[in-house]
Structure 1
Amino acid sequence: MPFTDTAEAVRAWVHGWSASRGAAQPALSTWGFTVDVGLPGHVMRHVLPAADEETVHDITQRATAPGVWLKAFVPPETLEPWLAPGWHLAGGPGYLMCVPLAVAPTQAPVPIPAGYRLNTWTRDGVTRALVRTADGVFAARGQIAVTGDTAVVDQVETDPAHQRRGLGNLVMHSLTAAATEQGATAGVLGATPQGRALYERTGWRVLAPLTSALRGPDPTDT
C-alpha cells in the first residue's frame, strides 16, 4: 500500500478532492476536516478519519442546516445509529481506495477504441479526460488533482450507452499517466461499488469503507 495508515490516505483524499472540485482549503480540527463546497445541495462537508459515536452524534446534532455532508470511514451499519435526527445515509456504501502509481497496471499503453476520441487538458493542477464519439457525443470522463506526491481521482463516469467498451480503463490510464508526469507517486479515490470493480481491474485496492451521511434531502449529485 502507498500509505502507512488510513489517516494519511484520508488527508490526501480530502485535499485532492477539494482541489479537484474547486472547494475551499480544508480546515483542520481535532476530529478531522471541514470543507466549504458552496453548492445548494452540498454546502459543506465534514470528514472524520477516525469516527466514533460521540463525535458523530455531536457534529450531526449541531449541524441543522440542509446540504451538510459527513464522510466517515466505517460501514453504513456502524454510522447510521450514530446520526442525530434529521440525518440519513446517502449515496450507498463506498470505499477509500489507493494505488502506488509507479507500478500501477494502468501505466501500460491503452489504445483508444475505434469510433472514439480522447481529449485531455490540465488547469491549476487538475487534469481532465473527456471521451467522445467521432461525431462528438459524450461517452466518458474523469479528472485527477495532484497535490504534492499524491493524486486524487474524481468524477469518473461512463455513459450507460458506452459501457463495457474499455472507456473507463482508458480514462483511468490517461489520468494516472498525467499525474505520474506531474510527480505523483500514489493515488487515492472514493469509489462506489460499481466503480470499485473498474478500479480493482486497474490495480487499485480497498483501504477502508467510506460511508456518507446528509442533513436534509438527498441530491442526485454527491
Structure 2
Amino acid sequence: MDGIVRAWVDGWVVSRGAAPPVREPWGFTVDVGQAAQVSRHVLAALGDGVEEAVVREVAGAVTGTGVWLKVFQDPSVAGGWLGAGWWVDPEPGWLMTVPLGAAAGETPAPGGYRLRSWTRGGVTHVLIAAPDGSFAARGQVAPTGATAVVDRVETAPAHRRRGLGGVVVRNLQAAAAARGAATGVLAGTPAGRGLYESLGWSVVAPLTSARFDGAGGA
C-alpha cells in the first residue's frame, strides 16, 4: 500500500507548494518551509503494518522543533511510541480514497450562494461565497497523474449543514477527473469523515499527527 501513501504525499506537496518529497527507507521526508511546520516525516506503512520500532527510530532522530510526524495508525497506539517533547493530536485523521469515474459537470451552489473555481500552478480551487459576499466554503485539489489529492476543504461555521461541503468536494472531484485522474486521495478529519463517506469515499487507514515541540514541550 506504499502507492497510496506516495500518491497522497505527491499531491499534498503540489497543493501546499512544499518541496518535492525525499524517499527514505521508512517513507518520505517533506520540507514545508513554515515556522510552525518546518518539515514532516510520513511513514509509508499502513495500519497493522506500522512497526513500533520504526516509529520510535524516526521520532527519536528528530531534534528540531516544528517537525511533524505522520503515522497511519490510531493515536491511541502510535502516540505511546513517541518520546518526550512530542505533542500528539488525540483525534485520528483518516486516509481515504474514492474512484473518480468519468468527469461530471459543475455542481451548482445552493440558491443565493456564488461558486467560483480556478486553476493556478496545477491546483484547482473552488470557492463558495455567501449571499452577502462573505466566505462560506472552499477546497482545492492537486492532480498528479492517475491520482489527485483533495485538500483544505472547509466550511464557515455559520454556513454548515447546508450542503456546501458536498458541493465543493463534488466540483473538486469533477475537476480532477477532467484532468485524467482516476482516484481521489485525502487525509480527512473526524469532522469531515462523514461528509466524505456520504460522497463515496472509503477509509484506508487511521492517521496520527504529531509535532515535536522540544524536550521541554508536550
Q: TM-score, normalised by structure 1?
A: 0.90
Is residue 2:144 matched to residue 1:157? no
Give the aligned partner of residue 220 of structure 1. none
Q: Could you tell me which amino acid in structure 1 is paired with residue 30 of structure 2? A: V
Q: CA RMSD in A?
A: 1.6
Give the aligned partner of residue 16 of structure 1. 11
Seq. identity, %: 55
**Do the aligned partners of 2:10 and 2:21 also contact (CA within 8 Å) in 1?**
yes
Q: Could you tell me which amino acid in structure 2 is paired with residue 74 of structure 1? A: Q
Runs of 5+ consecutive residues of structure 1 not aligned to the other structure: 1-5, 218-222
Give the aligned partner of residue 39 of structure 2. 44
Greater shift, 17-26 or 127-136, is seen at 127-136
Compute the displacement of 1:108 (Å).
7.4
SS of the aligned residue for 2:83 comes to coil
SS of the aligned residue for 1:60 comes to helix
Structure 1 segment 203-214 matched on structure 2, within 5 A: 203-214=200-211
Q: TM-score, normalised by structure 2?
A: 0.92
Is residue 2:84 matched to residue 1:89? no
SS of the aligned residue for 1:102 comes to coil
Q: 2-side partners of 1:98 and 1:73: how far apart?
A: 14
Greater shift, 24-33 or 208-217, is seen at 208-217
SS of the aligned residue for 1:24 comes to coil
Compute the displacement of 1:90 (Å).
2.2
SS of the aligned residue for 1:8 comes to helix
Q: 2-side partners of 1:157 and 1:63: how far apart?
A: 31
Give the aligned partner of residue 63 of structure 2. 64
Q: 2-side partners of 1:120 and 1:108: how far apart?
A: 13
Q: 1-side partners of 2:5 and 2:61: how far apart?
A: 23
**Do the aligned partners of 2:9 and 2:21 also contact (CA within 8 Å) in 1?**
yes
Q: 1-side partners of 2:201 and 2:210: how far apart?
A: 25
- Runs of 4 or more, structure 1, over 6 Å off, are none
Q: 2-side partners of 1:103 and 1:197: how far apart?
A: 23
